[in-house]
Structure 1
């Protein structure tokens, strides 16, 4: 069950200014590349886009630079303030909760929900809002962390996300990483259930197979970069991140051939 308490804002205004911009821009470029491949487009001109959990705005900036009319929302007021000061001439930024998106039904061609679900109070409510605000032929970029990843990505502690609430709290406190463990990850099966209302396409192995094309060299550790796709498929139960595209309609990937084509998730 999600906790009632709200997550703590992680950064001060000064810390936003010292973020690793290069890494954030690479992640944003990856998102745009996946969206363009699925849509079979060289840019996003003429489309409307929403980034949920926009924070410092780098993904919003990348979407706007690709041509989309873009809005970023977040409950993180310092992050939104930073984003407005940096990118406010190119996009709109609003302090808002993803479980109550301030937009009419079928407002967006694109919604980005990237590595946010584990932080929110009610991820199912956010997904319902994504389905509500997507146009029938729209697409959602879904970057999801896996509960069964061996190393938890926020605190870098092995098996942290595997633990029940109270033992997880004691674990992070014992290593002086935090007073308690707020994040709540889900298994692949539960993530599929969370995406009900969308037809979902798996781009995880597409990115691994064509990492340069999709600006995804951060997805695979350098020492494993030469391993065959079958090796990574075998690791699916513990793979750290799933990259999916969801659509309310029947749209299929429109992009050019790749080494490992995206596949529809049916299980």
Structure 2
């Protein structure tokens, strides 16, 4: 994934096709994916998501990362990058995927640059899929520590050092309002898709069929009240 100095990539190798299918389902709620679309995955990691879209839609698919950790290399164009800058022309892509990347690019300035660059390379009407861990998740997913991201920034690394003997907490998870402010600063219109994603997750996972029935019949007003506590924030944004 994209990162800056002092931050390491957190590459996920498992279940990339399953993740790609969930991303596909969310994007399809807003815009039909077509073979003639150009798609970019920022922070491709193992390459599984880029490979999935290239092989299922015969699209022109591109991917970037700060290091090459790919297990899936065929069917798409890959470039190494050194920061948040994207090596593409303005208004080039129909779809951009930023899946658990923005928390790794750096502080707020770099996170804003990440969205500004995506906005620049998106075509008018193009769609960004963005997912990021919610700061208020109970268990921090990168280091599996309870309440790690809840703590003030100045003591997160201290906690990580004491428990995991890792000197620096190199992630910047966001809360809902912080992310929406970044979208607004980048002049991207956005919509929260956490509830839809939750429905898709519990629908598709066999072990969660009971939860699917519950979520299917819960009033929308109740679901909206828990959006800010869902572990992963998921948005579609448009140029």
Q: TM-score, normalised by structure 1?
A: 0.76
How much does 1:46 deviate? 0.4
How much does 1:32 deviate? 1.6
Q: Secondary structure at the match of 1:113?
A: strand
How much does 1:232 deviate? 4.2
Question: Structure 1 residues 5, 112: CA separation in 2 closer, same or farther (over 3 Å shift)?
Answer: same
How much does 1:212 deviate? 6.4
1:55 to 31, 45, 48: 45
Contact 1:150 1:158 (8 Å CA) reproduced: yes
Runs of 4+ aligned structure 1 residues displaced above 6 Å come to: 220-223
5+ long unaligned stretches in structure 2? none
Question: Structure 1 residues 195, 57: CA separation in 2 closer, same or farther (over 3 Å shift)?
Answer: same
Alignment root-mean-square deviation, CA? 2.5
How much does 1:209 deviate? 2.6
Residues in 1 aligned to 2:213 and 2:130: alpha-carbon distance in whole angstroms: 26
User: Could you give the per-residue CA deviations for residues 167-210 of structure 1, whole angstroms, max 9, x where no partner exists?
Assistant: 11121112126222111112111100111211112221112234
Deviates more, 1:227-236 or 1:27-36: 227-236
Contact 2:194 2:227 (8 Å CA) reproduced: no
Q: Does 1:111 align with 2:101?
A: no
Aligned length: 227
Residues in 1 aligned to 2:9 and 2:88: alpha-carbon distance in whole angstroms: 24
How much does 1:245 deviate? 0.7
**1:10-21 to 2 correspondences below 5 Å:** 10=10, 19-20=13-14
Q: Secondary structure at the match of 1:94?
A: strand
User: Could you give the per-residue CA deviations for residues 199-235 of structure 1, whole angstroms, max 9, x where no partner exists?
Assistant: 112221112234366x5x49x9777444334554332
Higher helix share: 2
5+ long unaligned stretches in structure 1? 249-267
